[in-house]
Chains A and B, each alone.
Chain A
Amino acid sequence: MKKLLGVALGILTAIGGFVDIGDLVTNAQVGARFGLSLGWVVILGVIGICVFAEMSGRVAAVSGRATFDLVRERLGPRMALLNLVGSLGVTLLTFVAEIGGVALAIQLVTSVNEVLLVPFIGLLVWAVLWRARFSAIENVLGLLGLALVVYTVALWQLGPDWGELGHQLATVDKPGDEQWLTLAFYSVALFGAALTPYEVFFFSSGGVEDGWTKDDISVMRANVLIGFPLGGVLSLSIAAVSWVALGPYQVSVETLGQVGLPVAIALGKIGLAFAVIGFVAATFGAACETGLSAGYSIAQYCGWQWGKFVRVERAARFHLVMILATLLAVGILVTGVDPVLVTEFSVVFSAVALPLTYLPILIVANDPDYMGEHVNGRFANLLGSTYLVLILLAALAAIPLMVITRMGTA
């Protein structure tokens, strides 16, 4: 019974923790403009993150070490440095966006300017990273993130034409006046949002924090293979609700308020309250994850003691990295930069960094010296290799598409 509850908690946490500011904004933007025409990209992205998160989790459970740690050992410091540079830049950009997202969510209901809120939120994020137990960060914020289920409820309440939504999902139904290149740009952005590098670093390091062993592989798989796809349903709900509520008015989503407006239309104040709770939980949770990922990446590359499972004094440099990352993020946000714009850039650059992040994971997961009998099977390798091709295509196309389509405004 206790194990069942543990599995259920893990799945619920995975659902609630799946969505971050990148998923919120990108899915709402794409949904309002294209409906569920790019829903297949979300599904593709969810399968991809399941494939690589399962590999990362398995690596952590079998070896007792985090993926990045092993990448450095297995592939050498140069490859690890390339991996670090590629993923750390995106992780820090995402960290900025997430802290900004928390500020925007609170601004939405209080009207206090986000720039004034950012220093306090930065302080709170750092305090949680410093003092809160890892399991508390995971579970509390993951469960509160379940408030975003309100989008699925809102979709039901709006009573859409399910046939039309299904047709959009099944076919790539490009609106007449849109260009294929713009559709391609948003496909890359959605793909990048689903596969952001920090997710796998956090997942594998988190596995070490939680003390996973080989006995935990089945629970880890349940969390990933049930929790993440259900989290993907939330992403599709955000897109669909935006289409139904904002599409007829041709609203172009550029603010968090516009992301929340469809829920207010469907469910009124209570719905909007749930949405805002979900925004805060999702972005605060993701801010903690990205902050930790920045610390994990640098500490593991440099061979420093890391983790919240040791006393702060023993992992002083790990905590120092997180303090510096938080100060950097706050410093960038107080200049008044729009967090939604930062989010848009972060998902595109996420796509660029994907090959550097996921190729090493595939290599380590295939190494019998680390993985023993739990090395990748044929199916995992088939999926992993297929996704590497897709990831490479997305990485190569991201910047040119961003320039040609002027960030999708063309």
Chain B
Amino acid sequence: MDMPRRAAIVVAVLLLASACLPSRPSAADWHEQASQALEDAASSVATAQLVMREQRRDHLLGRSGTVMLVEAEEAIGTTAQTLDALQPPEGLTAQQSRVSDALQRASGLITDARIARVREHTDAYRGLEADLRRERDRLTRLSERMR
């Protein structure tokens, strides 16, 4: 096999191998991305909070409330997945765990809201709205600490 062909195969193997490895940001980059993820999650939680409030006030048409909650659920799921795919830098494993737990908790709360909406458990709307408001505040504070 000639040299250029060998070189091309080596380069191809290296590229493929690198594509299978998780992204390794620096500590500063990781903090920025974690902060952004928490902000995005807070946005999804805030949307769910507003939906529960407007659902309680009977302001939403048809299944629009359910659709908005499903979209918020999908968004926060994508956010959590994207952050989990990052390799945390040395010494930041505990922080990564904390952020991941916060995103999981928030995601679970939005799922609870969606379930309540689909099952029309109207008695639970006010409580869920309050929980979502508290969760949004927690996520916002954690996001600010990450910067």
Chain B 44-79, CB-CB to A under 8 Å as 1, else 0, gives: 001101110010011111111011101100010000
Q: Which A residues touch B63, using CB under 8 A?
A: 109-111
Shortest CB distance B25–A (Å):
13
A246 to B57, CA, bound (A): 17
Binds A, one of B3-11, B35-43, B96-104: B35-43
A to B CB contacts below 8 Å, 16 in the list: A108-B68, A110-B63, A111-B67, A246-B46, A249-B47, A249-B50, A251-B43, A252-B39, A255-B75, A257-B67, A257-B71, A261-B51, A264-B60, A265-B59, A268-B59, A276-B64
A64 to B88, CA, bound (A): 65
Total interface residues in chain A, CB < 8 Å: 25
In the complex, the answer to whether A264 meets B64 with C-beta atoms within 8 Å is yes
Shortest CB distance B28–A (Å):
14
- Chain A residue with minimal CB distance to B63? A111
- CB contact under 8 A between A272 and B75, given known A250-B39, A250-B43, A251-B47: no
In the complex, the answer to whether A269 meets B60 with C-beta atoms within 8 Å is yes
Nearest 4 pairs between A and B by C-beta?
Answer: A111-B63, A257-B68, A249-B46, A109-B62
Q: Which A residues touch B31, using CB under 8 A?
A: none
Say yes or no for B87: interface residue by CB 8 A criterion: no
A257 to B61, CA, bound (A): 11
In the complex, the answer to whether B46 meets A109 with C-beta atoms within 8 Å is no
Q: Which B residues touch A276, using CB under 8 A?
A: 61, 64
In the complex, the answer to whether B46 meets A257 with C-beta atoms within 8 Å is no
Q: Which residues of chain A in 99-120 are interfacial with respect to chain B, using CB atoms and an 8 Å cutoff?
A: 107-111
Binding site for A on B (CB under 8 A): 36, 39-40, 42-43, 46-47, 49-51, 54, 57-64, 66-68, 70-71, 75, 136, 140
Number of A-B contacts (CB under 8 A): 78
A108 to B70, CA, bound (A): 11
Q: Which A residues touch B66, using CB under 8 A?
A: 111
- Chain A residue with minimal CB distance to B53? A265
Q: Which B residues touch A7, using CB under 8 A?
A: none
Q: Of A110, A249, A252, A261, which is within 8 A of B68 by CB? A: A261
In the complex, the answer to whether B58 meets A108 with C-beta atoms within 8 Å is no
Q: Which B residues touch A260, using CB under 8 A?
A: 64
- CB contact under 8 A between A107 and B47, given known A268-B57, A268-B59: no
In the complex, the answer to whether B61 meets A250 with C-beta atoms within 8 Å is no
Say yes or no for A222: interface residue by CB 8 A criterion: no
Q: Which residues of chain A in 360-410 are interfacial with respect to chain B, using CB atoms and an 8 Å cutoff?
A: 409
Q: Which residues of chain A in 257-301 are interfacial with respect to chain B, using CB atoms and an 8 Å cutoff?
A: 257-258, 260-261, 264-265, 268-269, 272-273, 276
In the complex, the answer to whether B46 meets A250 with C-beta atoms within 8 Å is yes
In the complex, the answer to whether B64 meets A272 with C-beta atoms within 8 Å is yes
Q: Which A residues touch B36, using CB under 8 A?
A: 409
- Chain A residue with minimal CB distance to B60? A264
A54 to B65, CA, bound (A): 42
In the complex, the answer to whether A261 meets B58 with C-beta atoms within 8 Å is no
Shortest CB distance B102–A (Å):
16
Q: Which B residues touch A245, using CB under 8 A?
A: 50
Q: Which B residues touch A107, using CB under 8 A?
A: 67
Q: Which B residues touch A409, using CB under 8 A?
A: 36
In the complex, the answer to whether B42 meets A250 with C-beta atoms within 8 Å is yes
- Chain B residue with minimal CB distance to A272? B61
Q: Which A residues touch B136, using CB under 8 A?
A: 249
Q: Which A residues touch B50, using CB under 8 A?
A: 245-246, 249, 251, 261, 265
Say yes or no for A254: interface residue by CB 8 A criterion: yes
A24 to B63, CA, bound (A): 21
- CB contact under 8 A between A269 and B61, given known A249-B50, A250-B43, A261-B68: yes
A380 to B42, CA, bound (A): 48
Q: Which A residues touch B60, using CB under 8 A?
A: 264, 269, 272
- CB contact under 8 A between A264 and B61, given known A249-B136, A255-B68, A257-B68: yes
Shortest CB distance B66–A (Å):
6
Q: Which B residues touch A264, using CB under 8 A?
A: 54, 59-61, 64
- Chain B residue with minimal CB distance to A266? B59
Q: Which B residues touch A265, using CB under 8 A?
A: 50, 54, 59
